[in-house]
Amino acid sequence: MTEQVTAICRACYYELRQLCSVVHSLTREAAKTLVHAFISCCLDNCNALLYGIVYNQFQRLQSVQNAVARSVTGSRCSEHITPVLRSLHWLPVRQRIAFKLATLVHKCLNGHVPTYLADFYRQTGDRRSGMRSAETWILHMPRARSTYCDRSFAVAGPSIWNLPPAIRDPSLSRQGFRRLLKTHLFG
């Protein structure tokens, strides 16, 4: 995935260089919208495939997001980046990927995706048997034999789905789930 991360970073830095001259003359909200349209969408495009990549590749993507956040807010490189990301309501790259996977699992459990995706997930307990795990929406974790298998959608989804029970409730609306999940990931 090194080549993919390199291509993403190259495209994002190119867009950032193009937008730097314009961002300083806009309001913060307008700059945030413009940056989101060009750069954040590039970072989020197919980022679920990046689940489980090595740490230094995540750091490269995170440095792109940090540079974008600093250009929008006008903060210095010596300032800590976490408060800057929080003020923009942006999740770090790792949490963005977890957010995307958890949202996709929620859609699978609610039947908002094609059946070939929904068939990946089944609960550990059966509702008819009265098992408590059926009511807590714990998903079956398939056994993975390698690190590449750990990154597959069938294994990564249930591992990400280990959320507090209030968030794991599939009866939540899509917007309610996303709001609770983002709050949980910010914490």
123, 81: one domain: no
Q: What is the pTM of this model?
A: 0.83
Range of the domain at 41: 2-90
15, 82: one domain: yes
64, 135: one domain: no
Last-in-domain residue among 56, 75, 90: 90
Amino acid identity, position 163? L
Number of domains in the chain: 2
80, 119: one domain: no
41, 123: one domain: no
Rounded alpha-carbon distances, angstroms, from residue 66 to 10, 82, 93, 102, 173: 15, 9, 10, 24, 31
173, 140: one domain: yes
pLDDT digits (tens, 9 = 90+) for 111-170: 888 887 777 776 554 444 455 544 566 776 777 777 667 777 777 888 888 788 888 877
Helices (H) and strands (E) in the chain, counts: 12, 0
Q: How far apart are the first and last CA of the chain?
A: 29
Considering only 9-18, 23-32, 51-60, 151-160, which range has the smallest mean pLDDT? 151-160
